[in-house]
Amino acid sequence: MTTTDVGIDQLGIYVPRHALPLDRLAAARGVPPEKISVGLGALAMAVPAPWEDTVTLGANAAARALRAGGIAPDEIGLLVVGTETAVDHAKPASIFLHELLGLTSRCRTFELKHACYGGTAGVMMAVDWVRSGAARGRKALVVATDIARYDLGSSAEFTQGAGAAALVIGAEPRLLALDAGTGVYASNVWDFWRPLDRREALVDGKFSVDCYLDALGGALADYRGDAAPVMERMTALLYHTPFPKMAQKAHRRLVEREHPELDPDAQTALFERSYAELVEPWLWLARQAGNTYTASLYLGLAWLAEQRGAALEGRDVGLFSYGSGCQGEFFSGRFVAGSGAHAARIGAAALLADRVLLDVAQYEDFVREGARGGTPSIDDGALCHLTGVSDHKRHYGRQEAIA
Ligand code: HMG
């Protein structure tokens, strides 16, 4: 597979400052804590405050990406927001970000949706925009931003979370060059959905796990074609992570598909070895922030890039994006020379270190207040806040100029 000169120039992420340790939620719901920490592999979930929504999370991630990359607003010619937590049925989140980030009017902006795949859809579209020449030297900003919400007291409640990732896509990228060949899989299934009148998603949980694994198998087959197994050339494998155990199940499926010639014991040995090396170390943000839907895969990329830094330069990574409903895509890229310096500016570990831990009553208060929509902003160190809703219009505040 050839590596092109289009890819991720800079990555920025943001997770809410508040988090709920899941052992506290398990105690409140009468669930054994090991079912969550071991059974799902999850330790905490990020909880959006009432003054946060997908616009503020996305704007905060995007501002961090632009700053870290030293990218001026007038370099951005395309702004795409992938989200399944839209704030309006017609007005796109992207137009709020466009204003909050101070981008120029010479910019195309829109929002797109395909469950958790929406961010990757934006990445693929942006890469094609750059490769086609339509970008005319400018860069694209793709923002994946979401809040995972299920009914309080449901088994899926433990797989909530919130966060955003912003990817600046351009030619001669300074972080990760993306390979031109990708593999896709699409199928109409009812594994997870959210009707227009609901804040919380509906899900057929166990079926959704099967749909995810089917999509992985299909996308991987499409990516590989008749080529040799790809696992051995990867320095890391990143999977969409609704809960960390899902990445483990996904990797097991990948090993089975990549090495059908091995007997079950040999497959298990290969799975255990490769999971510990290629997958598990990059799940830490997912363990701490929960499901971030469109952003999930890119939070994994952020943790990998920041933790391994310059050691990744010249190394390949494989990524699997999944959106319920469903769409899967397997793709890959190579960390470029000098990428360690850009990875060091992501600041993911610092975001986690600065968190405030909630108790269950505070979490439930945030959920109730959030449903009512916005309060005066609180100084939580973030750049953008929801300041209120009046006449069905959402108002946002920005604490300081970005550029
Ligand atoms: P559940 O009913 O809570 O869990 O649902 P379970 O009974 O299946 O148990 C979960 C695991 O815990 C099992 O392990 C148990 O054995 C284990 P597994 O067999 O799977 O390896 N367990 C224990 N382990 C240790 N000690 C114990 C113990 N008890 C049980 N005492 C489910 C779990 C994930 C289905 C639920 O949380 C849910 O519905 N979540 C939402 C849906 C979801 O995340 N689906 C993932 C695939 S679809 C996807 O990724 C797309 C998505 O991100 C949305 C989008 O695309 O927009 C969701």
pLDDT tens digit sequence for 17-74: 999 999 999 999 999 999 999 999 999 999 999 999 999 999 999 999 999 999 999 9
| Residue showing tokens 């959210």 | 194
Query: What are the φ/ψ torsions at residue 212 (nearest 5 degrees)?
Result: -60, -50
C-alpha span between 318 and 333 (Å, rounded) = 7
CA 36–ligand 1 middle distance (angstroms): 9
pLDDT at 398: 85
**Residue 270: which of 282, 256, 280, 283 has the closest Cα?**
256
CA 298–ligand 1 middle distance (angstroms): 21
In this model, does residue 284 exceed pLDDT 80? yes
Q: 316-351 burial, b if ≥16 CB within 10 A, otherwise e?
A: bbbbbbbbbbbbbbbbbbbbbeebbebbebbbbeeb
C-alpha span between 215 and 131 (Å, rounded) = 27
Number of helical H runs and strand E runs in the chain: 13, 17
pLDDT confidence of 351, banded at 50, 70, 90?
very high
Is the Cβ atom of 38 under 6 angstroms away from ligand 1? yes
Residue 320 Ramachandran class (φ > 0 left, ψ -120 to 50 alpha, else beta): beta
Overall average pLDDT of the 70-92 stretch: 97
Overall average pLDDT of the 390-402 stretch: 81
Residue with CA closest to ligand 1 atom 27:
35
Exposed/middle/buried for residue 119 (C-beta within 10 Å: 0-12, 13-18, 19+):
buried
What does pTM read for this prediction? 0.96
What are the structure tokens assigned to 295, written together? Answer: 């952003």
Q: Which helix (H) or strand (E) holds 169?
A: strand 161-171
**Residue 237: which of 248, 245, 228 has the closest Cα?**
248
C-alpha span between 93 and 76 (Å, rounded) = 17
pLDDT confidence of 4, banded at 50, 70, 90?
low
Is the Cβ atom of 242 under 6 angstroms away from ligand 1? yes
Angle among Cα 113, 186, 230 to the nearest 5 degrees reads 110
C-alpha span between 262 and 204 (Å, rounded) = 33
Is the Cβ atom of 332 under 6 angstroms away from ligand 1? no
Mapped onto helix, strand or coil, the DSSP state of residue 149 is coil
What are the structure tokens assigned to 309, written together? Answer: 């830094």
pLDDT confidence of 336, banded at 50, 70, 90?
very high
272 is catalytic: no
pLDDT at 202: 95
| DSSP-derived secondary structure letter, 286 | H
pLDDT at 403: 37
Is the Cβ atom of 34 under 6 angstroms away from ligand 1? yes
CA 119–ligand 1 middle distance (angstroms): 23
